[in-house]
Chains A and B, each alone.
Chain A
């Protein structure tokens, strides 16, 4: 039999919608037909039929038995159409694409997760994965930042994680963003990180967020003494094919869709990526 056309997505049904923030929803998609295996850090190309396609990281862990979840921030054509989806609507999913966080290599270590805004989406499957296999990992620290309390994603789940043994969650909002009754920290992520003074010994870091946050967070991590090969982040480039063929997402010889999106700070410095 001829292999099937890789650009034809598998139909999937919307099986749940959670309103995270005023402009971010999390969708549960149930694939018609075979489910696929994936690891935290990988992404899918989501089709809103007749509108277009865009890449989204899979925001749920394969250790949970639900469908594929994506948290989508309203931006342009596809993401706006996604925000008009209703329960039961049919979309298309192709993937999984890209590499993943090296969670296997991180076994036995502490992990520090640092996320800003929608940047929490790629961290969520990794956090769920580590919590579900907690016996394999050390202490888990989660630092989650957003502009205002209303912009924090996964609010309920953050509480749940904080209630798990040996998992510590710190939430912070930008200065001026705090509202009456806010119990978390106030301050930009890199600053709060410095104040937290996390132990660097036997600790890996996974961070994701807006470019400006990433830039200063990576600086702060280096200042705290984290080695470049222990710090991981994801890169975002415009994508179309997701499989290293359309020529859109390269940095030098690397296609971010295929060779990434996960890179260590060491790799980023080697390829000369601007951060």
Chain B
């Protein structure tokens, strides 16, 4: 289903969604840093390129309570929440959730994640203007990719939006707003899609086998400062720690690039060297996840490239000496 909405109609749609969903959207004016929970439609900012952090915190918060201790035992009783809706998510971030679904779902289901993720809706916004660090088209996505989305919005540039319902639930929420999209709008969306793909500055084919030499990884990892920013801004990184704090068991984000991540009480550390940690992170995404799940666990959002204080570029690590 394709609908055409004016900005005003879009705000009205959001107003309606707020009563049924917990709505998360990019919010802020000048520079949009992150996805926040919004209370009013006007808080949303759709004119951004990409947020500094990914929306993974909506289903996988940087810190969350696993259970609380009551009289020395775990107490449960989770409050039932409204289903979550992420509005204005970029196509790359939506694809990332399909990957996190594989990690947290599967035969041993992690309900901390799936209870938030199930029944959620993803309303994406196509990227008319990819950033210089974007490379989604190299890893199976695209600026207008609909993978994982329920609705894709396209900013038609004239103050109106095309909303494309991609499944029953997506169609349901947009069916009553705006008007049916006319041919001109559909053509416009198609030309924006083509133009966006042409604007992508980075393009490569991930090699089937990555560089494996110790020398190579040592050289590439030299500048890394173990800050972990790459993993924290990454929409597919899922490492975490479980800690006891103030009578609660908590789950907090962690990263395999931290030197103490794998250290055992005996002092032994299988990934003591930085080269092994950087190699582990890149191999996990571009080789091992592919072996296990059939796809690369990188969606090309480019956040790690934009955020790394040491200027490390994952596409260079992957392409190695072949580039």
Contact present for A75 and B73 (CB under 8 Å): no
Contact present for A247 and B238 (CB under 8 Å): yes
Stretch of B47-55, B158-166, B199-207, B283-291 with 4 or more beta carbons under 8 angstroms from chain A: B283-291
Name the residue on A nearest B270 (C-beta).
A237
Given contacts A5-B76, A90-B73, A248-B262, 11 further A-B contacts (CB under 8 A): A3-B111, A7-B66, A7-B110, A49-B73, A52-B244, A76-B265, A245-B103, A245-B108, A246-B241, A247-B238, A248-B254
Least distance between B10 CB and chain A CB atoms (Å): 34
Q: How many residues of A contact B (CB 8 A)?
A: 39
Within 8 A of B (CB), among A214-249: 236-238, 240-241, 243-249
- Selected contact of B111 from candidates A6, A79, A258, CB within 8 Å: A6
Least distance between A253 CB and chain B CB atoms (Å): 4
Given contacts A50-B244, A52-B244, A247-B239, contact A5 B67 (CB under 8 A): yes
Given contacts A7-B251, A238-B264, contact A246 B67 (CB under 8 A): no
Contact present for B261 and A248 (CB under 8 Å): yes
Q: Is B115 part of the contact surface with A, judged by Cβ < 8 Å?
A: yes
Given contacts A5-B76, A6-B108, A7-B251, contact A238 B66 (CB under 8 A): no
Chain B residues near A69: list those with CB within 8 A.
none
Given contacts A237-B262, A245-B104, A246-B241, contact A49 B110 (CB under 8 A): no
Within 8 A of A (CB), among B255-274: 256, 261-266, 268, 270
Q: Is A252 part of the contact surface with B, judged by Cβ < 8 Å?
A: yes
Name the residue on A nearest B78 (C-beta).
A5
Chain A residues near B72: list those with CB within 8 A.
49, 90
Q: Is A274 part of the contact surface with B, judged by Cβ < 8 Å?
A: yes
Contact present for B262 and A238 (CB under 8 Å): yes
Name the residue on A nearest B115 (C-beta).
A2
Contact present for A75 and B76 (CB under 8 Å): no
Q: Which positions in B face A, CB cutoff 8 Å?
A: 66-67, 69, 72-74, 76, 78, 103-104, 108-112, 115, 238-244, 247, 249, 251, 254, 256, 261-266, 268, 270, 280, 283-284, 287-289, 291-292
Contact present for B111 and A246 (CB under 8 Å): no
- Selected contact of A50 from candidates B76, B78, B247, CB within 8 Å: B247
Name the residue on A nearest B291 (C-beta).
A253
Contact present for A250 and B240 (CB under 8 Å): no
Least distance between A150 CB and chain B CB atoms (Å): 21
A-B contact pairs, 21 of them (CB 8 A): A2-B111, A7-B242, A8-B66, A49-B73, A49-B244, A50-B244, A50-B247, A53-B242, A79-B265, A90-B73, A92-B73, A236-B264, A238-B264, A240-B240, A241-B240, A241-B242, A245-B104, A245-B110, A246-B240, A250-B288, A251-B270
Contact present for B239 and A246 (CB under 8 Å): yes
Within 8 A of B (CB), among A161-195: none
Q: Is A4 part of the contact surface with B, judged by Cβ < 8 Å?
A: yes
Contact present for A8 and B76 (CB under 8 Å): yes
Contact present for B264 and A253 (CB under 8 Å): no
Q: Is A85 part of the contact surface with B, judged by Cβ < 8 Å?
A: no
Name the residue on B nearest A235 (C-beta).
B270
Q: Is A66 part of the contact surface with B, judged by Cβ < 8 Å?
A: no
Name the residue on B nearest A258 (C-beta).
B108
- Selected contact of A246 from candidates B109, B249, B254, B268, CB within 8 Å: B254
Contact present for B288 and A253 (CB under 8 Å): yes
